[in-house]
Amino acid sequence: MTRTELRASLALSAVFSMRMLGLFLVLPVFALEASRYPGGDDPARVGLAMGIYGLTQGLLQIPFGMASDRYGRKRVIVIGLIVFALGSFIAMAATSLAGLTLGRAIQGAGAISAAVTALLADQTRDEVRTKAMTLLGVSIGFMFALSLIIAPLLNAHIGLPGLFALTGVMALSGIAVVLKLTPPEPAQIEARQKGRLQVVLADAQLMRLNLGVFILHAVQLAMWVALPAMLVQAGLAKDDHWQVYLPTVLASFFVLRGTLYPLERRGYLRAVFLVSVGLIALVQVGLLWTAAPSLAFLTGLLFVFFCGFNILESCQPSMASRAAPAHARGTALGVFNTLQSLGFFIGGALGGWLLRTQGTHGVFAACSALMLLWLAAAWPMRAPARSGRGAGTASSAAR
């Protein structure tokens, strides 16, 4: 990478990290803590409160992405971070589950993912973009892991309101990073045409990636509606869940480093992608067919899950940005992130409803079916070509 590319990658990864840590901090404790609020005795309502963030974000990702094509990336990112911080502080002050739901909904309205990934794509060449997007993906994976480790500890000291307050402060800190540390936007962004949504929606390669990111995050949220209670039932107190999360996530990062980069250089990105989807499918099937999983079994499944999840979080945005037309990159990534956000919403809401009506068996049966559907839909995909500085395209033949 050039110095500008590295600076852009690190700065935008930091923005993403602060925002995603704020989101993920509440994830491991939300289902347990929300039950203490008025209205929190209904798992379906708790799942809705957890996942509604994804609904509002999904509704606004495309408008934010298109606005970034037309008005500039940084302006859109700053506005989104302000909205996200506002929602965090509303959730902090909530005294009921309805208030928590409102705060989460406003958090989601700060839909900056498409603008951030589009800005990073603008500032990197095709041949290094997977590395740049991997920094984003690793930052998401690391923040997810860190939240699973520190959230129970922080929750014991500052509670759920304190976690939301911390989330808001981190969002406001991200504004300073955008304005002071991120390289200037490319000069041609002001002259870029408005993205054409119909072109993006007609691209089969992009739509397969969109389906995949929807299913990945639906399964992620649905898993964590049920998983914390399963760990407790296996004998691990909720404040000690980090003892499982920390080693499994750290070990999965070594797998990421040893597989994604070298295999992509050799032309096996498609194979790594499909294997990662298959690994997460195996985890869901394992959780489905084990009536009373032991702590050791759950730990093993989590390691496999994080191996697949971190690889997919790293390569999917890169593949989408390289397949998208340059003039509509913000629009394409807006659609991509819309499906990601809707996955969060559907995963939380459906997971809570299934847990209430069908138990954990119903949750993981649905997750297994979704992952197998994704694997079937992804099979015909082509690996992206590695070309020069132009817009990313898909190759017609790849391993």
Q: Is residue 340 part of a domain?
A: yes
Instruction: Answer yes or no: is 330 within a domain.
Output: yes
Dig out the tokens for 16 from the structure: 């993403």
Distance CA(129)–CA(335), nearest Å, equals 19
Q: Which two tokens stand for residue 327?
A: 């003039």
Helices (H), ranges, the chain? 3-25, 27-34, 43-71, 73-92, 97-109, 113-122, 126-176, 197-201, 204-233, 242-265, 269-289, 295-323, 329-357, 359-378
For residue 248, tell me if it sits in a domain: yes
Q: Does a structural domain hold residue 190?
A: no
| pLDDT per residue as tens, the chain (399 positions) | 788 888 888 888 888 888 877 777 887 788 778 888 887 788 778 878 877 887 887 788 888 888 887 888 899 999 999 999 999 999 999 988 889 899 999 998 988 888 888 888 888 887 777 677 777 767 776 777 777 778 878 888 898 899 999 999 989 999 999 999 998 887 654 444 444 677 777 778 888 999 999 999 999 989 988 888 899 899 988 778 878 888 888 888 888 777 876 776 777 788 888 999 999 999 999 999 877 789 999 999 999 999 998 888 878 877 887 777 766 777 787 788 888 878 888 888 888 889 888 988 999 999 999 999 999 998 887 765 554 433 333 333 333
Running DSSP on this structure, what letter comes out for residue 179?
Answer: I
pTM higher than 0.85, yes or no? no
Number of domains composing the chain: 1
Domain-embedded: residue 399: no
* CA contacts within 13 A on the Cβ side of 380: 7
Residue 386 lies in a domain: no
Q: Do 374 and 287 meet the contact criterion of CB atoms below 8 Å apart?
A: no
157: domain range?
A: 3-181+195-378
Instruction: Output the pLDDT for position 196.
Output: 63
Residue 167 is part of a domain; what is its CATH number?
Answer: 1.20.1250.20
- The answer as to whether 188 is a domain residue is no
The verdict on residue 385 lying in a domain is: no
